[in-house]
């Protein structure tokens, strides 16, 4: 397997549960290579949604109005620092995500503020799709969140769910698991060819 850095992305949103588009309150990323799966770097930033954090989201994520007031940074700062990390670590251009919306939502908030962010490529690597595919192949239910899905494959979920940096790290770990699983399959397939 190639020693290539990938980055995973996760967001926490201030969902009001009223049908409105939720605003981002935390961005988390993890960077690492599948040949060094225990050497993952993790980063996070808080963003000010310019509205109160809903009680439901505070209970779910631990993010409070006080945290936003004292620790949030600008969208420009996130765009600059995130772009720098992607470049410095020579990351594969497409983000690794759990589900399909996070990369688009982040870029949308950057675009709304006229922030140039020429990253992420044209697609994402959705680990949830890998999970669903494998569940279907094995005749099992394809539903489940990240923590439950990892545990069902015998993997420990490290940290507390619904923290953007923690979820990003575990998403990257799960991606590396699926890469290793595919590598085993490819090695077996090649062995069978050699035996013919």
Structural domain includes residue 111: yes
Structural domain includes residue 19: yes
Structural domain includes residue 185: yes
Query: What pLDDT does 188 receive?
Result: 58
**String of DSSP letters for the chain:** ----BEEEEEEEEE--SSSSPPEEEEEEEEEE-TTSTT--EEEEEEE--SSPPPHHHHHHH---HHHHHHHEE-HHHHHHHHHHHHHHTTB-SSPEESSSSHHHHHHHHHHHTT-----S-S--EEHHHHHHHHHHHTT------HHHHHHHTTPPPPS-SS-HHHHHHHHHHHHHHHHHHHHHHHHHHHHHHHH-
| Domains held by the chain: number | 1
- CATH of residue 148's domain is 3.30.420.10
Q: For the chain, which ranges sit under pLDDT 50?
A: none
Query: What pLDDT does 182 receive?
Result: 83
Domain containing 119 equals 6-195
Query: What pLDDT does 3 receive?
Result: 93
Structural domain includes residue 92: yes
Structural domain includes residue 1: no
Structural domain includes residue 155: yes
């Amino acid at each position: 397997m190639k020693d290539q850095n990938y980055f995973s992305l996760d967001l926490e949103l201030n969902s009001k549960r009223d049908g409105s588009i939720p605003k981002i309150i935390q961005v988390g990323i993890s960077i690492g290579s599948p040949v060094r799966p225990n050497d993952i770097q993790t980063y996070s930033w808080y963003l000010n949604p310019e509205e109160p954090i809903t009680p439901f989201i505070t209970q779910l994520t631990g993010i409070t109005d006080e945290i936003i007031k004292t620790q949030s940074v600008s969208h420009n700062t996130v765009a600059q620092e995130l772009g720098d990390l992607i470049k410095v670590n020579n990351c594969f251009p497409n983000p690794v995500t759990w589900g399909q919306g996070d990369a688009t939502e982040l870029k949308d908030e950057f675009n709304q503020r006229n922030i140039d962010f020429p990253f992420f490529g044209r697609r994402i690597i959705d680990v949830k799709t890998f999970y669903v595919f494998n569940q279907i192949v094995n005749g099992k239910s394809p539903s489940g969140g990240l923590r439950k899905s990892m545990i069902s494959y015998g993997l420990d979920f490290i940290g507390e769910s619904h923290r953007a940096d923690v979820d990003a790290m575990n998403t990257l770990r799960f991606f590396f698991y699926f890469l290793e699983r595919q590598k085993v399959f490819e090695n077996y397939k090649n062995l069978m060819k050699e035996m013919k």
